[in-house]
Structure 1
């Protein structure tokens, strides 16, 4: 089996640009046939695998370019910029978006710990922050192919989908990004829990002291560990998450004031000022530009 077979499956099932459901919860195919610049997005815990073409993500100024040789692993919610700058009708991009279910990933991580499995950390001991690129290996390729083949039968998908997804998760945890992902989904990761809590409550006031208390750390220790895990200070992270969410909603047609309120801003002027500082355009200008096509992953 090969990535070429996976690409053929995706191409046969995607009839338009954007995301296409597979019938397995959290697993979607996507296609892009036009160049899209990197624009604000929020990656919930996920793996993004490209089988044809290339994609980019930017986290806190760090650029991650990946294609069929490496997939992207993002085990915690992250405010990024993402795009498909090289896609075209003659060179379409095909890929798979795999949401990472926290309960299943945590259970697998704990089972692997209990079994005494040792996960390789990658060459050179490089420390990944927020996002990690991992080499496509045989285990990942085989597990992904087996899961996508379920799409030939709705019955197979309904009966076997969860088991095949678990198999794919296991391949991810065994792969080059395995140790990185297990740090996020391990039972003791207080930073990942703090990020999950903040991401679910972006419209509510947040303080570093509250986040540190939830994590069971002093303010100074929490600040240091949070920045090690995400590259950003906690308040910078929260602001980026809020503004990226607002930018996505505005580009999708939501009124500026409504997007600001949903992002936790009570002052429209403060929202406009911080939005322009982050993206170089006012929210109104951003809305008029309509930068974010529907369905970009």
Structure 2
């Protein structure tokens, strides 16, 4: 019944569409009753839990469709296309977005290792997004977290502890081994992605990234592609273009968006944008009616 109670809380607090903060750092509720087609977005490290309706995300051609039976785990910044193609007044999208604090996720992972709960060895490459079944530990921790919103005092005093409990439930659940590998202290690729995401407007050298990761260019390229399904160059380009698309949809001019994500040449930006999205950035921006918060 935990999921049902979570839905009731969201319905009570959100009589209209949108996204609202809960008072707990990184935790937001959302509601949508209109369909939004998949559009460019960037997922930062997060969990998205749906209690009504469904969402869709596409990463490098791989489609992830999830609803109240599964939550989505994305432990690293990823350029995706995302939307709510089936939302309607009769079938509203209701759910929660929980940002994942890398420092805290790493801290809990280390404590789990020290307690003897080791990460199973991984065979081959793994997708950068994982869908995981809701389990009792996750449901109960999420319910206790959202119940805090009824009291500002409870939220202030217990918010950090309840969020930590939810993080632990994630790391113990079906997505746990996947998430723990991403947040492991020695994961050089995850560190490279985090560094890249914070410096998109600056020149990027794959050789420098490989050097900082302590790898040769060839090894770095191979491990990066295993982690993200994309080459480093493809990943950088996708991140920049997706960020730019979101900025244009939000009202920024094409030239401003291009400069903001590191493009010196506006013509090069327009060519690469059109190659990826099938339209010039100006035409694409004019055609968009995006609720970016729900992408």
Report the TM-score range of the alignment, normalised by the length of the smaller protein: over 0.9
Gaps of 5+ in 2: none
Tell me whether 1:73 sits opposite 2:73 in the alignment.
yes
Partner residue, 1:212: 210
CA contact (8 A) 1:121 1:180 kept: no
CA contact (8 A) 2:126 2:226 kept: no
Partner residue, 1:102: 102
RMSD: 1.4
Runs of 4+ in 1 over 2 A off after TM superposition: 118-122, 125-128
Give the deviation of 1:89 after TM superposition.
1.1
Q: Residues 91-114 of structure 1, C-alpha deviation per residue, up to 9 Å, x if partnerless?
A: 101000000001100100111111
Question: 1:120 & 1:53 partners in 2: Cα distance?
Answer: 33
Of 154, 173, 176, which residue of structure 1 is paired with 2:174? 176
Partner residue, 1:31: 31
Partner residue, 2:85: 85
Partner residue, 1:147: 145
- Aligned residue for 1:30, secondary structure, equals strand
Gaps of 5+ in 1: none
Closer/same/farther in 2, CA of residues 2 and 121 from structure 1, 3 Å limit = farther
Partner residue, 1:254: 252
Under a length normalisation based on structure 1, what TM-score does the superposition of the two structures give? Answer: 0.97
Partner residue, 1:133: 131
Q: Residues 29-49 of structure 1, C-alpha deviation per residue, up to 9 Å, x if partnerless?
A: 001101111000000000000
Give the deviation of 1:129 after TM superposition.
1.4
Partner residue, 1:12: 12
- Aligned residue for 1:202, secondary structure, equals coil
Closer/same/farther in 2, CA of residues 176 and 240 from structure 1, 3 Å limit = same
- Aligned residue for 2:294, secondary structure, equals coil
Under a length normalisation based on structure 2, what TM-score does the superposition of the two structures give? Answer: 0.97
Closer/same/farther in 2, CA of residues 234 and 117 from structure 1, 3 Å limit = same
Question: 1:288 & 1:119 partners in 2: Cα distance?
Answer: 47
Q: Residues 242-287 of structure 1, C-alpha deviation per residue, up to 9 Å, x if partnerless?
A: 0000000000101110000011001000000000000001011011
Closer/same/farther in 2, CA of residues 108 and 211 from structure 1, 3 Å limit = same
Partner residue, 2:115: 115
Closer/same/farther in 2, CA of residues 12 and 126 from structure 1, 3 Å limit = farther
Question: 2:66 & 2:120 partners in 1: Cα distance?
Answer: 21
Partner residue, 1:224: 222
Question: 2:28 & 2:279 partners in 1: Cα distance?
Answer: 32
CA contact (8 A) 2:246 2:292 kept: no
- Aligned residue for 2:42, secondary structure, equals strand
Give the deviation of 1:121 after TM superposition.
8.0
Give the deviation of 1:127 after TM superposition.
5.3
CA contact (8 A) 1:120 1:178 kept: no
Partner residue, 1:43: 43
Give the deviation of 1:126 after TM superposition.
8.7
